[in-house]
Structure 1
Amino acid sequence: MGNTSSMLTQYDIEELQEHCNHAFSQQEIVSLYHRFCQLDRNSGGFISADEFLSVPEFAVNPLSQRLLRMLDGLNFKDFVAFLSAFSSRTTLQQKIEFIFRVYDLDGDGKVSFNDILCVMRDLTGPFMSEQQRQKVLNHVLEEAGYTRDSSLVLSDFIKILGDSDLKMEVEVPID
């Protein structure tokens, strides 16, 4: 499975289903494999940042640089695990864990005021001033019972987003 020139076996597909908690059907995994092979232009078994940026929808995403930190050099198994966060079959907690990793820039298990502010910069670009961003973020944190000096951990994210109707889904076209 490491080499994209080989085909997936039934065992590979079932193993991938287990690895991603059955977020994808067998047909979806086969479709993802074909897409992975298209992206892996040098057939090295891994997708580079440049190869990810060749996907127009990804390249224009304001969080693409942040996501590349999680994506660069993924093999197919990791690619499927990454995409499973966007499956309709993935639990809300799994989606929140993914979002937490996006916000946790340095991977220390904590999200600071500045980490959130960086995401806001990426998302708002020139449409908000730095002062407006800080004001909004201070208000949101205060409403949730935190201050700008708080460091949020995963359980805080689960507490804050746990009752939300979080829609983070991408449909996998079946070939």
Structure 2
Amino acid sequence: MGNKVAVFTDQQLENYQDCTYFTRQEILTVYKRFRELDPKIVPAVMTKDEPHTISIPMEKIIKMAELKENPFKERICKVFSHDGTGNLTFDDFIDMLSVFSENASRDNKLYYAFKIYDFNGDQLINGDDVEQVVQALTRNELNQDEISIVREKVLEEADIDDDKCISFSEFRHVISRAPEFLNTFHMRI
């Protein structure tokens, strides 16, 4: 038998299993994907504090096949980045892939979809946030008048309490009427 180097301690693996939707083997696969993004930065062993101190720049993360065509790729990185920069530690990276996994709960996916659309981070999706979502989804192909029309229609449809913002509960209500929305909210490891 050869000496196999442990990437994580047993306790770290247990913690990741408790906090994600992944098995031990899937956690190691996620780590392999993370390390492949920048093997010069990411060590072969992460048994100390490396999982939450070593980060990969967002510029490298957004080149992943699962993100490179996503109009929200930078926003996704910023939402999952513990410091908001978009640079991801392994802890951030595994959280992101866990939420986008097929096994993640609908509520967890919904929570993060809301955060991704809440560009200014005020726990509400206001008109400006809606405009940024529309610009991202249409890749800036609409003029300002067209964007304003979409903005008003979205707020008219989703803003139940007429406060010119979409709260999380209003967002949940809208998504409940479009269950296929969250079917596209996944990545494979």
TM-score range with shorter-chain normalisation?
0.7 to 0.9
| Cα separation, 2, equivalents of 1:65 and 1:87 | 19
Distance 1:139 1:78 in 2: 35
The alpha carbon displacement at 1:114 in A equals 0.9
Instruction: Confirm or deny: 8 A CA contact 1:40 1:46 kept in the other structure.
Output: no
Contact 2:75–2:116 (Cα < 8 Å) also in 1: yes
- Structure 1: state its 5+ residue gaps: none
Q: Scaled by the length of structure 2, what TM-score is found?
A: 0.76
Asked whether the 8 Å contact 1:138–1:148 carries over to 2, the reply is: no
Residue in 1 that maps onto 2:56: 47
Partners of 1:112 and 1:79 lie apart in 2 by 28
- Three-state SS of the structure 2 residue aligned to 1:58 is coil
Contact 1:17 1:26 in 2 (8 A): yes
Q: What amino acid is the match of 2:75?
A: R
Task: State which drifts further: 50-59 or 87-96.
Answer: 50-59
Distance 1:144 1:154, change over 3 A: closer
Q: Over residues 100-135 of structure 1, what are the superposed CA-to-partner deviations in whole Å (9 max), with x where a residue is unaligned?
A: 111112222121011011111011024322222222
User: Aligned runs of 1:1-175 on 2, under 5 Å?
Assistant: 7-20=7-20, 23-43=21-41, 45-70=54-79, 71=81, 72-146=86-160, 150-163=164-177, 164-165=179-180, 166-167=182-183, 168-172=185-189
* Identity level (%): 27
TM-superposition CA deviations, 1:21-75 (whole Å, max 9, x none): xx12222111000111111343252111122133254233222232232342322
Q: Measured at CA, do residues 29 and 88 of structure 1 come closer, stay the same or move farther in structure 2, by a change above 3 Å?
A: same
Conservation of the 8 A alpha-carbon contact between 1:46 and 1:76: yes
Q: Distance in 2 between matches of 1:65 and 1:6?
A: 32
**Structure with more of its chain in strand, by fraction:** 2
Gaps of 5+ in 2: 43-53
Q: CA deviation at 1:96?
A: 1.0
Separation in 2, partners of 1:125, 1:81: 27
Over the aligned positions, Cα root-mean-square deviation in angstroms equals 2.4
Bigger shift: residues 80-89 or 41-50? 41-50
